[in-house]
Amino acid sequence: MTTQHPKTALITGANKGIGFEIARQLAKRGFAVFVGSRDMAKGRAAAQSLCDEGYEATFIQLDVVDPVSIKQAAGTFSQKADHLDVLINNAAILEDHGETILKLNPELLDRTLATNVQGTIMVTQDFLPYLQKSPAGARIINVSSDVSTLSTMQTYAPAYSISKAALNAVTRQFAAALPHMAVNAVSPGWVRTDMGGAGASRPVDKGAETIVWLAAEAPVTETGKFWRDKEAIGW
């Protein structure tokens, strides 16, 4: 069945954490949300929990490191909606375990770049035809991190930090290539999720706040920027 909602959003890595909270907040604002998840059971459960709250949510299996999975996800989406208003590239991994770049495992770096950078590029490319059909001007939001900032980057999690700096560059590239869309990167801050840990300073709703604002409220003319707490910050 094709959605009747005028506003649609796809969030990758949306079965838990910030991704799920973004989906919930956008659904609350009247979006039909598509819950992208590599794990079928967790993705279905996440979408069902939103449906149980009275929202329209659809699970789409989506592994951002698998080109075939991405294309199949785009095909599934085409059966449910004729356009995409918001794409949020949220799926990411953090596998660094205290090592500095002096002992960085190249295989770990490859996995991190494949998920956090190449995955974003492939998902955006394959969903671009649906983004181009957005009547109000599509929005692409890449979930980055404070640790991507070059002026303050230290030794923390080198693979993850490098990948998020590269993601910022990807954001600038897409913003330049898509002048009629809003393409931005966001740092949600240190958020209490499986990735951020229980000691993180921010609740998940605060981490999602600026991403949801860019998706639903910010002027579509705001593009090619890096945001934190609804303010543009330096790269």
CA distances from 205 to 15, 174, 211 (A): 15, 27, 10
Which member of 37, 69, 145, 187 is catalytic?
145
CA distances from 124 to 74, 92, 98, 142, 223 (A): 10, 15, 31, 10, 16
Q: Is 145 a catalytic residue?
A: yes
d(CA 203, CA 190): 9
Q: Is 144 a catalytic residue?
A: yes
d(CA 59, CA 73): 10
Which member of 7, 134, 163, 164 is catalytic?
164
Q: Structure tokens of 89?
A: 């590239």
d(CA 85, CA 118): 22
d(CA 164, CA 149): 9
Q: Is residue 8 a contact partner of residue 86, using CB atoms and an 8 Å limit?
A: yes
Residue 120 neighbours by CB under 8 Å, 6+ apart: 64, 89, 142, 167, 170
Which member of 16, 160, 161, 225 is catalytic?
160
User: Other C-beta atoms within 10 Å of 140: how many?
Assistant: 27
Which member of 69, 144, 161, 187 is catalytic?
144
- Active-site residue list: 144-145, 160, 164
